[in-house]
Structure formats: structure tokens, C-alpha cells
């Protein structure tokens, strides 16, 4: 019984890893195709922007919170996040280097960066986000 359970869990873990690897390869291919088609402009200039709007707090609806990713051709830039509540607003900025945050990014921030790198901006619809 233990062997069967271990085998099934191994297959499930392998499937999840394979799915994540396929998505990473697909994203990489799309980013490479996008970089090739853009040309040889100034790679340090901000060129990719994406805004992801969402409801961060249960008390506030209307997708008033947002994350904005501003990325250059090298994948460097920043993510600006504003979380809006009834009585206060909090704003955060995090650096991005090589398409990854130098600090832990929230899922919404990661998706804003991903959308910017893939050229899906300026505004990303929530159904585009995959989890």
C-alpha cells in the first residue's frame, strides 16, 4: 500500500514539474521572439509596461489595487504596487533584475512582470493570469 501511494505521489509531482517546465519554455520562447522582433534599440530604456488590477482586500471591490511593472529590454526595472483600502493606501516599489524580483514578489507583482516581459500590457485582464 505504501509503495502504491509513493508511486502515485511521484507521478503527480512529476506531472506538476513537467507542466511548470513546459510553461517556462513557452514563456522563454515568447520572450525571445519578442526581443528578436523589437530590434536593437536602447535595451536600457523602459519599453515594456503592464498593469494588473485586482481586489487586494475583501472590504474593497472594483479592482482598485494594482501592480505596475516597468521593464527594459534586459529585463531590469521595477514593480510599483498600490494596495487600496477604505481608510488607507499602501504603496510599495520593488526592483526587478533579469525579469525576477530582487525581493520576494507577490503573485500579482510576478504576473505584472511576466505580462510586461511578454508584451501583454498595458493592462492585463485577470483571466490571463495563470496560477
How does the average pLDDT of the chain come out, rounded?
83
**Does 50 map to a domain?**
yes
Judge if 34 and 92 occupy the same domain: no
**Does 6 map to a domain?**
yes
Strand stretches in 28-103, DSSP E = 46-54, 65-72, 77-84, 89-97, 100-101
The rounded distance, in Å, linking the Cα atoms of 131 and 129 is 7
Q: How confident is the model at residue 45 (pLDDT cuts 50, 70, 90)?
A: confident
**Does 85 map to a domain?**
yes
For the entire predicted model, the pTM comes to 0.65
Judge if 70 and 18 occupy the same domain: no
- pLDDT digit string, tens, across residues 113-128: 999 988 887 888 765 4
| Number of structural domains found in the chain | 2
Judge if 29 and 74 occupy the same domain: no
Judge if 35 and 52 occupy the same domain: no
Grid cell listed for 42 = 536602447
- pLDDT digit string, tens, across residues 59-91: 777 788 999 999 988 889 999 999 988 888 999
Judge if 28 and 55 occupy the same domain: no
**Does 131 map to a domain?**
no
Q: In the predicted model, what is the mean pLDDT of residues 2-11? A: 83
Q: How confident is the model at residue 57 (pLDDT cuts 50, 70, 90)?
A: confident
Judge if 57 and 35 occupy the same domain: no
Q: Tell me the residue range of the domain where 107 lies.
A: 42-126
Amino acid at each position: 500500500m505504501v509503495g502504491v501511494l509513493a508511486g502515485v505521489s511521484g507521478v503527480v509531482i512529476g506531472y506538476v514539474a513537467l507542466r511548470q517546465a513546459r510553461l517556462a519554455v513557452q514563456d522563454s520562447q515568447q520572450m525571445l521572439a519578442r526581443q528578436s522582433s523589437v530590434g536593437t534599440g536602447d535595451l536600457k530604456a523602459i519599453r515594456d509596461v503592464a498593469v494588473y488590477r485586482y481586489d487586494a482586500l475583501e472590504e474593497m471591490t472594483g479592482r482598485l489595487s494594482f501592480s505596475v511593472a516597468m521593464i527594459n529590454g534586459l529585463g531590469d526595472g521595477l514593480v510599483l504596487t498600490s494596495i487600496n483600502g477604505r481608510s488607507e493606501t499602501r504603496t510599495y516599489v520593488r526592483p526587478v533584475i533579469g525579469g525576477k524580483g530582487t525581493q520576494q514578489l507577490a503573485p500579482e507583482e510576478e504576473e505584472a512582470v511576466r505580462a510586461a516581459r511578454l508584451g501583454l500590457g498595458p493592462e492585463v485582464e485577470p483571466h490571463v493570469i495563470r496560477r
